[in-house]
Amino acid sequence: MAPWRALPAAVDVDCSLPRPAADGKGMPDWLKLLVRGGRGMPPPPTGAVLRILRQALLSDVQLLRWRDDGAAEILDTTLVAVDRTGVSVSHPESIGRVRPGEPLEIVLQGGGGRFRGRVRCLGQGSRPSGGNRPLATLRLSLPQRLEGGERRCSHRVSVGYDLAPSGRLRDPESGREWLVDIIDISLEGMQLRSRQENPGILPGDLLWLDAHLPDPVGVLDRPVRIMNARRDGQSERHMLGVVLMESVPELSEFLRRAEIRRASRRRSA
pLDDT tens across 76-86, in order? 889 999 998 99
How many angstroms separate the first and last alpha carbons of the chain?
Answer: 100
Answer yes or no: are the C-beta atoms of 248 and 189 closer than 8 Å.
no
The residues of the chain that CATH labels 2.30.110.10 are 47-148
- pTM equals 0.48
Residues facing 238 on adjacent strands: 231
What pLDDT was estimated at residue 33? 41
Q: CA-CA distance, 87 to 146, in Å (whole number)?
A: 14
253: left (phi over 0), alpha (psi -120 to 50) or beta: alpha
3-class DSSP state of 55: helix
> Which residues on adjacent β-strands are paired with residue 125?
137
User: What pLDDT shows up at residue 36?
Assistant: 38
Question: pLDDT at position 72, please?
Answer: 65
Evaluate whether 52 touches 32 at the Cβ level (below 8 Å).
Answer: no
- Under CATH, to which class is 47-148 assigned? mainly beta
The beta-strand segments (E) located in the chain are 60-66, 72-83, 86-90, 103-110, 113-127, 135-140, 147-148, 157-158, 166-170, 177-185, 189-194, 206-213, 218-231, 238-244
- pLDDT under 70: residue ranges of the chain: 1-46, 69-72, 92-96, 110-113, 148-154, 266-269
Q: What is the DSSP letter of 187?
A: S
Looking at residue 42, what is its pLDDT?
44
pLDDT given for residue 141 in this prediction: 95
Provide the pLDDT for residue 199.
93
Class level of CATH domain 157-268: mainly beta
Q: How many residues does the chain have?
A: 269
Predicted local confidence at residue 25, as pLDDT = 47
> 263: part of which helix (H) or strand (E)?
helix 251-268
Predicted confidence at residue 153, as pLDDT, reads 55
CATH 2.40.10.220 in the chain: give the residue spans. 157-268
Number of helices followed by number of strands (H, E) in the chain? 3, 14
